[in-house]
Homo-oligomer: A and B are copies of this chain.
C-alpha cells in the first residue's frame, strides 16, 4: 500500500522539498541549492538524488511512494512540458518524463504559481473550495487559478498571469513586461512603494512614512496607526487591486480569492481596502466571492506539488 508523496518547489536559488503522508501532512521539509550551471541540467538529477536519500534515511520503499509533484517557474503545460524557464536556464522538455526517468516514480509538474494555488486549495486558506483564484502580492503580482478543482494552465501556460492585466490608461512608466499600466505596477510590494513615493511627493502632508525606509509593510503599519497619507495610499492600492480582481471574476467567477505573498503579511487590513473596490467594480453575479488570506506561506509550493499527486 502506497503511503507517501514528495512535493518539490524549484526556485531560482533553492529547491524546496517536502515529504507528505497520504492525508496531506508534511513529515519533513528541506532544501537543496539550485544548480543553474550548464543550463540547469543538474537540477532534476539533484532533486532525484535528494528524494532517494530521504527515502533511504526514512526506510521508505519505492512501493510506498504514490508519486512526486513538481512546481517550477515558467510556462508548463498540463502534460508537464516546460517551455523555457529563463530563471533556471531550462529550454523545452518534459519535466515529468525526465524526473520519472531518474526515479521510476509517477511525476506530475506544473507552473510554480499555479501549483502554489493548488496547495492553498488543498491544505491552505482555500481549503474546501473548488473554484479559487490565488493572488500573490510579492515583488510582482502572480496568480494561480483553480476551476472545478483543476489548475487552469491556459493554452501556452500563461493562465492566471493576472499581474499583467491592463488597469491604468494614464501610466507613463513601463512594467517589467514592457507594457504600461499593468496591475503589478500598483498592487505588488514594489507597486505599493511606487504609489507611496508619488503620494508623498505630491505635497507636504505630515506622515510617518516620511521617516525611515518606504516599504509595503511600512505603509500598512502606518495605516493601522491611522496615518492619513498612508490610508490614501492604501485606498489607491485597494482600488487598483479590487478593479483587477473584479475583471478576473468576470472571467472565471471564483468562490474565493486567496491573497498571499509579502504584502499579505499586513493581514486583514488589506481587505478593508480591496473589498469595497471589488464590490464597486464587480458584476453583480460575482459579488459573493470571499476574500481570505493564504496560510501556507513559502510552503504553498511543496504542498501544491504533493497535492498534484495526492488530490487528483
Contact = CB atoms under 8 A, between A and B. Distances in A.
A254 B285 contact: no
Contact of A179 (B179, B253, B281): B281
Interface stretch (A54-62, A158-166, A203-211): A158-166
Nearest to A75: B285
B252 A161 contact: no
Contacts of A145: 251-252
A249 B116 CA distance: 21
Given A252-B252, A281-B179, A247 B166 contact: yes
A259 interface: no
A210 to B, nearest CB: 29
State the majority secondary structure of interface residues on A.
loop
A165 B157 CA distance: 23
Contacts of A281: 166, 179
A161 B250 contact: yes
Contacts of A252: 145, 152, 154, 159, 251-252
Interface centre among A75, A143, A147, A178 (most CB of B within 10 A): A147
Nearest to A250: B165
How many monomers of this protein are in the complex?
Answer: 2
A251 B253 contact: no
Interface in A200-223: none
A2 interface: no
Contact of A148 (B78, B143, B248, B289): B78
Contacts of A254: 154-155
Contact of A251 (B153, B159, B280): B159
B285 A255 contact: no
Contacts of A153: 253
Given A147-B147, A247-B247, A252-B252, A155 B177 contact: no
Nearest to A166: B281
A16 interface: no
A161 B250 CA distance: 5
A30 interface: no
28 contacts: A130-B155, A143-B251, A145-B251, A145-B252, A147-B147, A154-B253, A154-B286, A155-B254, A155-B255, A156-B286, A156-B288, A158-B285, A160-B253, A161-B253, A164-B250, A165-B246, A165-B247, A165-B250, A165-B251, A166-B247, A166-B281, A177-B283, A177-B284, A178-B284, A179-B283, A247-B247, A251-B251, A252-B252
Given A153-B253, A161-B285, A165-B283, 17 more contacts: A131-B154, A143-B251, A145-B251, A154-B286, A158-B250, A158-B253, A158-B283, A158-B285, A160-B251, A161-B253, A165-B251, A166-B243, A166-B246, A247-B251, A248-B251, A251-B251, A252-B252
